[in-house]
């Protein structure tokens, strides 16, 4: 729901992704599955400059906020940053490997770690058969390259980050009944625990600080650009204010996160790209947002009259 208090702006400016992570260890099974096809890179769009200021109009769900002025969207990471690597959920859980079939990205290997369906608390791991799995491109709306994996038993969506992927599965764990295993693929899949070099911890934390500075700066520009449109302004503030807690929830189980901040770095980079995309092309409100905001405002007015 939209937030009307402008004070949240300052809290949001200092903020910096809400997924539940599950991992497990051995007990193996095989499953076969299908796939789908072909990625296309997203381009950079810049808003017009010097154009006459349009008359203020009522904004509804799905419409775009103002995108005038020069804006450059940070470059989305290439799929090449994940090809040929083994990426692990939280650094030590489920694993995935990507390869290419010509220009197409595909899954070369996938194993899902979780808990047994019939024996609560007992770990299991499913080695998915039928490789390679093809991927279908999806519109991310965040400037990142997004793919859908066609796995009937556990279909999920992934965004390509720098040497990592962010997986979403609507907050649901997958029940792989043939393998007697329940696994949740949601979260950051990236560097393995064996790849962390203590000598690079300070460098990684420093990189995160720089990206967070970019996020704060871009947020302020985006806020100023849309501050006269209440719905869009409130939406922008809400997203920024909730970012830090979302990032904390996603990253709290990542291997040695307190020492390296690797997961937080990747998610903050993704946030910077999302803000850049909004600066370049405008802010699109989610479906139903405007209607929900109107209903909330009407309810507040009714309550105030009592």
CA 38/CA 225 separation, integer angstroms = 36
Output the pLDDT for position 170: 78
The residues spanned by each domain of the chain are: 28-40+75-194
Output the pLDDT for position 227: 93
From the list 166, 146, 157, 162, the residue with the least C-alpha distance to 81 is 162
- Is it the case that residue 88 has pLDDT exceeding 70? yes
Output the pLDDT for position 68: 44
- Is it the case that residue 64 has pLDDT exceeding 60? no
Mean pLDDT for all residues in the chain: 81
Residue 160 near residue 145 (C-beta atoms within 8 A): yes
Which tens digits make up the pLDDT trace of 146-191?
999 988 888 899 999 999 999 998 778 999 999 999 999 999 999 9
- Is it the case that residue 87 has pLDDT exceeding 70? yes
DSSP state, 286? P
Q: Which percentage of the chain shows pLDDT scores above 70? A: 75
Tokens of 197: 């070099």
Which tens digits make up the pLDDT trace of 8-38?
444 454 444 333 333 333 444 444 433 333 4
Tokens of 215: 């996020």
Q: Tokens 């949001």, residue?
A: 12
Residue 158 near residue 59 (C-beta atoms within 8 A): no
Residue 120 near residue 108 (C-beta atoms within 8 A): no
Output the pLDDT for position 169: 84
Predicted confidence band of residue 52 (pLDDT cuts 50, 70, 90): low
Mean pLDDT, range 46-66, rounded to an integer: 48
Higher-confidence residue of 263 and 35: namely 263
Residue 102 near residue 72 (C-beta atoms within 8 A): no
Mean pLDDT, range 251-273, rounded to an integer: 97
CA 243/CA 232 separation, integer angstroms = 17
Which tens digits make up the pLDDT trace of 189-209?
999 999 999 999 999 999 999
Q: What are phi and psi of 64, to 5 degrees?
A: -100, 145
From the list 241, 274, 35, the residue with the least C-alpha distance to 166 is 274
Burial class (CB in 10 A: 0-12, 13-18, 19+), 224: exposed
Tokens of 256: 């040695």
């Amino acid at each position: 729901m939209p937030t009307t208090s402008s004070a949240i702006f300052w809290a949001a400016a200092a903020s910096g992704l809400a997924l539940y992570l599950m991992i497990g260890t051995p007990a193996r099974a095989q499953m076969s599955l299908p796939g789908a096809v072909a990625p296309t890179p997203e381009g950079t769009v810049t808003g017009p400059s010097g154009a006459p200021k349009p008359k203020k109009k009522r904004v509804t769900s799905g419409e775009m906020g103002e995108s005038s002025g020069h804006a450059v969207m940070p470059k989305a990471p290439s799929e090449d940053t994940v090809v040929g690597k083994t990426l692990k959920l939280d650094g030590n859980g489920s694993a995935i490997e990507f390869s290419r079939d010509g220009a197409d990205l595909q899954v070369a290997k996938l194993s899902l770690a979780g808990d047994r369906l019939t024996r609560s608390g007992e770990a299991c791991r499913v080695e998915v058969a039928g490789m390679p799995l093809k991927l279908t491109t999806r519109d991310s709306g965040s400037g990142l390259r997004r793919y859908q994996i066609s796995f009937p038993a556990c279909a999920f969506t992934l965004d390509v980050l720098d040497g990592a992927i962010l997986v979403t599965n609507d907050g649901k764990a997958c029940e792989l009944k043939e393998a007697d295993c329940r696994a949740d693929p949601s979260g950051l899949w990236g560097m393995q625990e064996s790849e962390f070099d203590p000598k690079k911890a300070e460098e990684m934390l420093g990189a995160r600080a720089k990206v967070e500075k970019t996020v704060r700066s871009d947020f302020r520009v985006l806020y100023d650009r849309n501050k006269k449109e209440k719905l869009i302004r409130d939406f922008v503030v809400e997203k920024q204010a909730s970012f830090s807690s979302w990032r904390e929830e996603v990253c709290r189980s990542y291997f040695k996160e307190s020492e390296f901040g690797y997961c937080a770095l990747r998610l903050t980079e993704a946030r910077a790209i999302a803000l850049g995309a909004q600066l370049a092309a405008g802010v699109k409100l989610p479906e139903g947002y405007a209607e929900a905001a109107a209903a909330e405002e009407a309810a507040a007015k009714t309550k105030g009259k009592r």
